Structure 1
Amino acid sequence: MADNGRAKSSQDGDLSRLDSDLITQVASFVGTSRELLDLALTCKSFGWQQTGSALDWSLAEEVARQTVCSWQHDIEGVRITLPQYARGRTTWLSILHESEDPLKFDTLLGRGMEHERSRRNAVCMNHVAGSTGTAIANNYVMETGIHYAEYLVSPCSSVGVVRPMPNLDPARFSNETFSFFHLMYYDEFLAARTDGWGDGNVHVCVYYTTNGRKEWTNWDEDDEEGGFLDWEGMEDCENGDTIGMLLNLDEGTLTVYKNNRRLGVMQVGLSGSYCWHATCCWYINNAPGGSTAKIRRCEAPGA
């Protein structure tokens, strides 16, 4: 009797005997990609590829796929582009993880520009004397509403907003010193225009950590309004300061915060779609070094 009881208990605990749709429904209550991964690692019925079923992957992967396809992690006013398929080292679990924290620098432009310690939300300039590079969150396009991001910065870096340019080829600039303000690139930037830009004339706007000044342009070399400018409230930065940026597309303004303290409205006249970006350079002061920038999405101070 005892042996039969143990056998029945073992069969009842064998999740592989349950209908796969039921297992998927149960697993869908798991809150995050990390929790789903833990479940896959501790329970083979969830983590192993299913045999004799329509699935080509594990039940954990199927739950991740369904979650991504349902867009449960949408952010109001933001168009987020994620990989459409799981292939190679890209799994549905990794895509789900990306969707939970989608603000990443996915496009690197310029010689020596790298992700810092392989973290896609942090960039640095790596040992290329005199070089400058830029990172763009091209897959995180802000189209309407109000958005806030915070940068952890160092001197000789700059941060701001720029038009989305998904068709710009990073390989084109991989051996060059890159800047949004190099006249020789203006035609290429304008050729990458998307319908989302609208009719606004502020195509890029930058805050410089070294002196607190701003620069903006519409990529028209004859433009007399843009340029390298002072603005009320500007302050420079030291290593480890945070610069917050509040993009209000309802009012067309870009407001700057330093260490959670509001400096003021840096730019007006913004309309259409924008991405966050950061620029780093390799500088030589008392000792050689490269500037860095790290970004995160958070609530604006006082919000």
Structure 2
Amino acid sequence: MADDGRAKRLKSSQDGGVADAEVAELRGRVFELESEIAKLRQEILQQAGGIAALESENEQLRRRGKGEGNHEVLPIAVTRVFTVDLSRVDTSIVSHVTSFLTSSYELLNLALTCKSFGWRQPASTLNWSLVEDAARQTVCSRASDDEMGCLPQYVRGTATWLSILHRYEHLLMFDVLLGGYIEHRNGNKIAVCAKEGDYERSVAVSSSYVMKSGAHYAKFQITGEPDIGIVRPMPGLAAGAYQEEFDFFDRRFYTDFRAQRVDDWGYSEVHACAFSCDDGEIISTAWNDDEIDIQWVEMEGCQSGDTVGMLLNLDGGTLAVYKNNRRLRVIKDGLSGSYCWYASVVDRHAGMDAVSIKRGTLPNSDEATAT
């Protein structure tokens, strides 16, 4: 059979078709790569713009930091101070807001805020400042008659209502120490501790808080085994005259005690009564030559860390003891007249007694209302 060249042409035609397909595929691939390159260039431009912005901010920070050396520092925020014209504010509104501030510390901070609060108000009848009036209202609305009698009287230029409120908040303190073996703990008058002297007793009296009527509740945080109780107020007793051992149940001092008697003592012959935290012993005296009344009523004692509560109810004439907010029992009845809280401490071999005092809220609200 003769070769007419058709086979060669057919092969050539087939080869050409394959080449065209490969070229088309390559062209498509090149287009995809060019498109991807264009996207990358765009991202690079965006990143370059961000870098430029960061470099510009960095330069600004460097310039601000030149005054402090070559360190790169953050900018300092400057707080703007705004002035408010309080003359446009109704004083009744301010007084109402002030009534929510109940402590002398909060009111003092308010008085220091601006003159409008701390300075005397010409419009006020008594020429008081807003803070002074708020302090007066707080004291008069909270203090009982007995407590008002323990507070200093308001005298312009001598005692401010703010200072009277502060005194009201710290009515209970051991302001009189009797005996040479006792001291205030860390200089704080709400707490006392025994000084070195083996079993040499001394006492601390809350003499500025005299209880004459109603119900009064105090809490004593104890260390060791102190005695805690009530005693007649004796403002004329010279504390400096007793620099050795001292006790309200020491017959050597009975004459001194009886010399302090006033009508406010009332008719009860219980002039001092104490609860021993050691074993629950109860002791009382009329400061005469009779035997001291000592009772042990199978009542549990207390130990370091306990809180001893005492409720003196002069309406009912009773003295009750609590241990860690749990009522133990009434330890004395037939009480009348005026009394003060007191504590007696000793330096024992096991350690020195210590006591702190504060007003408390009566655990059992149905018993009486504490003041």
Aligned residue for 1:238?
Answer: 303
Q: CA offsets per residue over residues 159-205 of structure 1, 9 Å max, x none? A: 011111122222222x2211101111111111111221111110000
Q: Judge conservation of contact 2:317–2:333 (CA < 8 Å) in 1.
A: yes
Query: What is the alpha-carbon distance in structure 1 between the residues aligned to residue 93 and residue 361 of structure 2?
Result: 36
Match of 2:343 among 266, 278, 285: 278
Aligned residue for 1:157?
Answer: 226
Q: CA offsets per residue over residues 211-266 of structure 1, 9 Å max, x none? A: 2101110100x223x33321x24222210112111222222221212222222221
Q: TM-score, normalised by structure 2?
A: 0.65
Residue 156 of structure 1, CA deviation: 2.9
CA 1:130–1:37: 2 relative to 1, 3 Å: same
The one-letter amino acid paired with 1:299 is T
Aligned residue for 2:266?
Answer: 198
CA 1:269–1:91: 2 relative to 1, 3 Å: same
Query: Secondary structure of 1:165's match?
Result: coil
Q: Looking at both structures, which has the greater relative contact order when contacts are Cα pairs under 8 Å and sequence separation is at least 6?
A: 1
Aligned residue for 1:145?
Answer: 214
Match of 2:105 among 7, 15, 34: 34
CA 1:24–1:184: 2 relative to 1, 3 Å: farther
Query: What is the alpha-carbon distance in structure 1 between the residues aligned to residue 155 and residue 135 of structure 2?
Result: 9
CA 1:81–1:146: 2 relative to 1, 3 Å: closer
Aligned residue for 1:98?
Answer: 167
Query: What is the alpha-carbon distance in structure 2 between the residues aligned to residue 164 and residue 239 of structure 1?
Result: 28
Residue 61 of structure 1, CA deviation: 7.3
Q: Judge conservation of contact 1:154–1:237 (CA < 8 Å) in 2.
A: no
Q: Percent identity?
A: 42
Aligned residue for 1:223?
Answer: 290
Query: Secondary structure of 2:107's match?
Result: helix
Aligned residue for 1:269?
Answer: 334
Residue 295 of structure 1, CA deviation: 1.7
Q: Judge conservation of contact 2:98–2:131 (CA < 8 Å) in 1.
A: no
1:175-214 matched pairs, under 5 angstroms: 175-214=243-282
Aligned residue for 1:294?
Answer: 356
CA 1:65–1:170: 2 relative to 1, 3 Å: farther
Residue 300 of structure 1, CA deviation: 2.3
1:46-61 matched pairs, under 5 angstroms: 46-47=117-118, 59=129
Larger Rg: 2
Aligned residue for 1:13?
Answer: 85
CA 1:209–1:89: 2 relative to 1, 3 Å: farther
What is the aligned-residue RMSD (CA, Å)? Answer: 3.5
The unaligned stretches of length 5 or more in structure 2 are 1-81, 366-371
CA 1:264–1:75: 2 relative to 1, 3 Å: same
2:238 matches 1:169: yes
Count of paired positions: 281
Q: Judge conservation of contact 1:24–1:62 (CA < 8 Å) in 2.
A: no
Query: What is the alpha-carbon distance in structure 1 between the residues aligned to residue 171 and residue 134 of structure 2?
Result: 15
CA 1:302–1:82: 2 relative to 1, 3 Å: closer
Query: Secondary structure of 1:142's match?
Result: coil
Query: Secondary structure of 1:141's match?
Result: coil
Q: TM-score, normalised by structure 1?
A: 0.78
Q: Judge conservation of contact 1:203–1:219 (CA < 8 Å) in 2.
A: yes
Aligned residue for 1:82?
Answer: 151
The structure where helix makes up a greater share of residues is 2
The one-letter amino acid paired with 1:31 is T
Q: Judge conservation of contact 2:95–2:130 (CA < 8 Å) in 1.
A: no
Residue 128 of structure 1, CA deviation: 4.1
Q: Judge conservation of contact 2:228–2:276 (CA < 8 Å) in 1.
A: yes
Residue 141 of structure 1, CA deviation: 1.5
The one-letter amino acid paired with 1:160 is G
Q: Judge conservation of contact 2:204–2:344 (CA < 8 Å) in 1.
A: yes
Query: What is the alpha-carbon distance in structure 2 between the residues aligned to residue 121 and residue 216 of structure 1?
Result: 24
2:114 matches 1:43: yes
Query: What is the alpha-carbon distance in structure 1 between the residues aligned to residue 184 and residue 158 of structure 2?
Result: 19
CA 1:79–1:132: 2 relative to 1, 3 Å: farther
Residue 124 of structure 1, CA deviation: 1.2
Query: What is the alpha-carbon distance in structure 2 between the residues aligned to residue 126 and residue 117 of structure 1?
Result: 13
The one-letter amino acid paired with 1:271 is S
Residue 206 of structure 1, CA deviation: 0.4
Aligned residue for 1:5?
Answer: none
Aligned residue for 1:4?
Answer: none
Aligned residue for 2:58?
Answer: none
Aligned residue for 1:3?
Answer: none
The unaligned stretches of length 5 or more in structure 1 are 1-8
